């Protein structure tokens, strides 16, 4: 299999060119943080968030334009106009952009703005989408589905690799287990060293969706870094109480700044 270490013994390094220099994810490179709101809500909020996460040390701005919401009555994202706001934030800050594609018909427009195209947990086994993101040149962030085994996840990555795109980043974002009382999902941190032993692809951790609660994001980020994650994806919102999606798990910019400072010594030690 193309994702295996037998096929490719050296770890893959995904290079993302940005105005502020190339960001490398994987290999021996430094920890890379992707941060930003769950959804792009307005020009003011995305620009403010972008400037704040950049100042705190993030290299990549996240933000959804097309949102895979569990309920059809919840905010679905601003779509195309949100892509324009992400492009503006990219120009203003030099941050790279990661944003989700849900439908093959939006891929071209998304890949024009995104430096990394995200495939969300709900689409991890959308094989026609995987083939299409595999046929375009931007790196792909592949989130783990709620109930996917590690082998199912790697086979999903295999679709992208087999279609011709070697730049796949795996993202552990919590899985569905029997207990949802205290956390939204169960963050499977053991998946990180397991994946590092069987695949050359970079592995990042999303403790925001992994726990669902902002109060646990910093501690799980520290654990993710200590256990060998190549990067983190963290939701940050200027006013989480008013967020249109995932407010309870968003850090404020101040909280994110403090978390990044507290993560630095752990990242240096591993």
Q: Where on the chain is the footprint of Mn ion (CB under 5 A)?
A: 38, 246
Pick one of Mn ion, ligand PEP, none as the site partner of residue 121 (Cβ within 5 to 8 A by kind): ligand PEP
Residue with smaller CB distance to ligand PEP, 52 or 173:
173
23 in Cβ contact with 59 (< 8 Å)? yes
Residue with smaller CB distance to Mn ion, 67 or 138:
67
Q: Find the shortest distance in angstroms from Cβ 185 to Mn ion.
A: 12
Strand positions, DSSP E, the chain = 14-16, 23-25, 32-36, 60-62, 96-100, 116-119, 140-143, 168-172, 203-205, 231-235
Q: Find the shortest distance in angstroms from Cβ 251 to Mn ion.
A: 12
Residue with smaller CB distance to ligand PEP, 10 or 40:
40
SS (H, E, C) 76-110: CCCCHHHHHHHHHHHHHHCCEEEEECCCHHHHHHH
Pick one of Mn ion, ligand PEP, none as the site partner of residue 68 (Cβ within 5 to 8 A by kind): ligand PEP
Pick one of Mn ion, ligand PEP, none as the site partner of residue 54 (Cβ within 5 to 8 A by kind): none
Pick one of Mn ion, ligand PEP, none as the site partner of residue 172 (Cβ within 5 to 8 A by kind): none
In the beta sheet, which residues pair with residue 100? 118
Pairing type for strands 96-100 and 14-16 reads unpaired
Sign of CA dihedral 210, 67, 20, 259: negative
DSSP 8-state code for residue 236:
B
Of 203, 208, 179, 201, give the one whose Cα is nearest residue 191.
203
Q: Which residues bind ligand PEP (CB under 6 A)?
A: 38, 64, 68, 120-122, 143, 173, 209
Residue with smaller CB distance to ligand PEP, 206 or 218:
206
Residue with smaller CB distance to ligand PEP, 124 or 154:
124
Lookup result for tokens 């919590």 = 174
Pick one of ligand PEP, Mn ion, none as the site partner of residue 78 (Cβ within 5 to 8 A by kind): none
């Amino acid at each position: 299999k193309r994702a295996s270490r037998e096929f490719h013994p050296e770890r893959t390094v995904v290079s993302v060119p940005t105005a502020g220099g190339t960001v490398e994810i994987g290999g021996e490179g430094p920890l890379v943080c992707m941060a930003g709101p769950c959804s792009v809500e307005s020009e003011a909020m995305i620009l403010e968030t972008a400037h704040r996460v950049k100042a705190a040390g993030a290299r990549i701005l996240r933000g959804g334009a097309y949102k895979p919401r569990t309920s059809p009555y919840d905010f679905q994202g601003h779509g195309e106009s949100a892509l324009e706001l992400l492009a503006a934030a990219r120009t203003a800050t030099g941050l790279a952009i990661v944003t989700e594609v849900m439908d093959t018909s939006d891929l071209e427009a998304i890949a024009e703005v995104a430096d990394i195209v995200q495939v969300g947990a709900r689409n991890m086994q959308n094989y026609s989408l995987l083939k299409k993101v595999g046929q375009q040149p931007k790196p792909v962030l592949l989130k783990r589905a709620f109930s996917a085994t590690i082998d199912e996840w790697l086979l999903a990555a295999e679709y992208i690799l087999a279609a011709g795109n070697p730049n796949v980043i795996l993202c552990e974002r919590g899985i569905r287990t029997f207990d949802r009382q205290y956390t939204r999902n169960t963050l499977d941190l053991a998946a990180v060293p397991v994946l590092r032993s069987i695949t050359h692809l970079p592995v990042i951790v999303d403790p925001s969706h992994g726990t669902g609660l902002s109060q646990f994001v910093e501690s799980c980020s520290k654990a993710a870094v200590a256990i060998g994650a190549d990067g983190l994806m963290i939701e940050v919102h200027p006013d989480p109480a008013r967020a249109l999606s995932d407010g309870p798990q968003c850090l404020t910019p101040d909280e994110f700044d403090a978390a990044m400072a507290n993560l630095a010594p752990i990242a240096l030690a591993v």
